[in-house]
Structure 1
């Protein structure tokens, strides 16, 4: 594989990031503000329109990045590798980041387990009967989830304002774009009858959380060179919501959160070692070169 020479200058990288941010947000509002299309008559139509806008932006950004980055090969596997789209080491890329991210949710998982146990005690059915019922319901539940537009919004496709502020789009954000979320200020202020102070607090908390998670997701991609790593972590975080730190009369939840956080800090670098996700080679496909062994 041909070694990449040259690099993208920092000013060019900053300008490109700002330009893509503005273009992404503008594309989301383009149907009504630019194309002057009538408002969608249903929520599903609104979401479909947003999905199309996000897809257009994402395709455009993939092409723009391919032109900006110092890529010197047109081979398909090489180009996919630049974006971290790879089939090798897939189990490591899925399981290790999932386990690492779940450590930050140790308190949440303990809380879910305690609620399940409480429900189990109230149900008073044999454990095997509960497991059988759950397995029988699983196909229909998956079918219902797959046909739910909210599932595709929150866990797959596009970054859209919703009541659960920490949900952003794994696919579009991890592939080419990470939203700034500041555009939500006007929507919260005007459509949800929030005061300017309340809207600022909501967006500020949202922005703070997404900056922290964005840094973590970018760290995963740089360390591993595999898009599946931040994608899996993003989907899991969207599903779980904010980590649970404290629950009244359930001290074990706080203990679990602290233990999980310490374990996360201890295992962060060992579980993201580049050699776990790449062959020990000097021709790594990561364009930024962080996975090279020389």
Structure 2
């Protein structure tokens, strides 16, 4: 990393914020969450351990963002192109809902208040939803750590070619989702064909995403790139290609977004954008030398 890639005031402010947050979060269970005081020393210490863990994770995310902001912004912007149709469809839906809302027609400020309140309600419901934490925090972090940060270096150091690793590593990623078939077929009593079809579609999607996440990790040399892409895709779901509103506009946006994604795929992931080294190695572990792989 280059010297002076962030300013001194930003570095001092970030360190001060992390220090304050580390202490303040220790008191959040009783002052913010209004939880009852712990009944024993063990419960008290466990609560402190959890708070310290949350603080540490938040500090790591902040530090990664400040030191490797391009590893988050560029991959996220690139991935969002695949959802151009989804964004257009959502905008058309919001415009339609706004026209149907009499309060919006009567008072734009009142409409803003209603929209903002809905947004706050969504944040509250998401933050209190265990499944949301699994989909948007736990799963992206743990899966990218295991299936990208651990497996890809092993495969590369084991002698596999770069392109082979990009297409091979997602197979392990998809195998980790085979347990869903057992859940659907045995526990939820899905018919065999329906369970197989559902899991098959899911495996296909995970393999395709695994290719992309592996590509991001190898090209950029930053795990943060694949993590933010994973979180974003989990939040957005499958890209929308057709919509009941503005079919032509949605299709056009989807095609344009896909074309932009393919056009920028390699330029937006150039190793030189993410690694400023002076030892003639352009990227992480010299695996950016695609021509020799």
Normalising by the smaller structure, the TM-score range is 0.5 to 0.7
Contact 2:174 2:207 in 1 (8 A): no
Q: RMSD value over aligned CA atoms?
A: 2.7
- Cα distance in 1 for partners of 2:204, 2:256 equals 23
Q: Does 1:109 align with 2:87?
A: yes
The separation in 2 between residues aligned to 1:89 and 1:279, in whole angstroms, is 12
Q: CA deviation at 1:218?
A: 0.8
For 2:230, the equivalent position in structure 1 comes to: 234
Q: TM-score, normalization: structure 1?
A: 0.61
Q: Looking at CA atoms only, which structure, 1 or 2, has the larger radius of gyration?
A: 2
Q: 1:138 to 1:198 in 2, by over 3 A?
A: closer
Q: Is 1:219 equivalent to 2:177 in the alignment?
A: no
CA distance in 2, matches of 1:108, 1:141: 19
Corresponding residue number in structure 2 for 1:150: 131
Distance 1:191 1:99 in 2: 39
Higher helix share: 2
Q: Which residue of 2 aligns with 1:130?
A: 111
Unaligned regions of 5+ residues in structure 2, if any?
A: 2-62, 148-172
SS in 2 for 1:156: helix
User: Residues 254 and 289 (structure 1 numbering): CA distance in 2 closer, same or farther, change over 3 Å?
Assistant: same
1:18-44 Cα shifts (integer Å, max 9, x gaps): xxxxxxxxxxxxxxxxxxxxxxxxxxx
| 5+ residue gaps, structure 1 | 2-84, 158-168
Deviation track 1:98-151 (CA, whole Å, cap 9, x = no partner) reads 111111111111000000000111114244433344445555543432222111
Decide whether the 8 Å contact of 1:98 with 1:236 is kept in 2: yes
**Aligned in 2, Cα 1:88/1:225: closer, same or farther, shift over 3 Å?**
farther
SS in 1 for 2:285: coil
Name which of structure 1's ranges 177-186 and 148-157 shifts more when overlaid on structure 2. 177-186
Residues 232 and 89 of structure 1: is their aligned pair in 2 closer, same or farther, counting only changes over 3 Å? same
Rounded to whole Å, the distance in 2 between the matches of 1:248 and 1:132 is 28
Correspondence for 1:12? none
Task: Tell me how far 1:152 sits from its aligned partner.
Answer: 0.8
Q: How does 1:195-214 map to 2 (within 5 A)?
A: 195-214=191-210
- Which residue does 2:285 correspond to in 1? 288
Structure 1 pair 139/197, CA: closer, same or farther in 2 (3 Å)? closer
